[in-house]
C-alpha cells in the first residue's frame, strides 16, 4: 500500500491528493467527535465492536 500511495503522490497534483487526505482526516475527526458526544468511547465496548467486525 505504501508503494501504491507513493506512486499516486508522485503522479498526481499536490492539490488533488492533499484535498483527498483532508477529506479523509476531517471525516475521521467528525466520527470521533460524534462518538465522544454520544458517549460511545468506552474502551471495552470499542474492543467488543472491533472483535465483532473481525469475526464477520
List all residues 6 or more positions away from 40 whose beta carbon is below 8 Å from its beta carbon. Answer: 46
Do the beta carbons of residue 17 and residue 8 sit within 8 Å?
yes
Residues 12-54: tens digit of each pLDDT: 999 998 898 899 999 988 888 888 788 777 777 778 888 888 8
Q: Residue 20: in which H helix or E strand, if any? A: helix 14-38
Does the pTM surpass 0.75? The reply is no
Alpha carbons 49 and 44: distance in angstroms, whole number = 9
**How high is the pLDDT of residue 37?**
80
**How high is the pLDDT of residue 51?**
87
Alpha carbons 42 and 55: distance in angstroms, whole number = 20
Domain ranges of the chain: 1-55
Side-chain-side CA neighbours of residue 22 (13 Å) = 6
Amino acid at each position: 500500500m505504501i508503494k501504491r500511495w507513493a506512486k499516486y503522490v508522485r503522479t498526481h497534483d499536490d492539490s488533488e491528493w492533499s484535498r483527498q487526505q483532508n477529506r479523509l482526516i476531517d471525516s475521521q475527526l467528525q466520527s470521533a467527535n460524534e462518538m465522544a458526544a454520544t458517549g460511545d468511547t468506552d474502551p471495552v465496548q470499542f474492543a467488543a465492536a472491533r472483535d465483532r467486525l473481525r469475526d464477520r
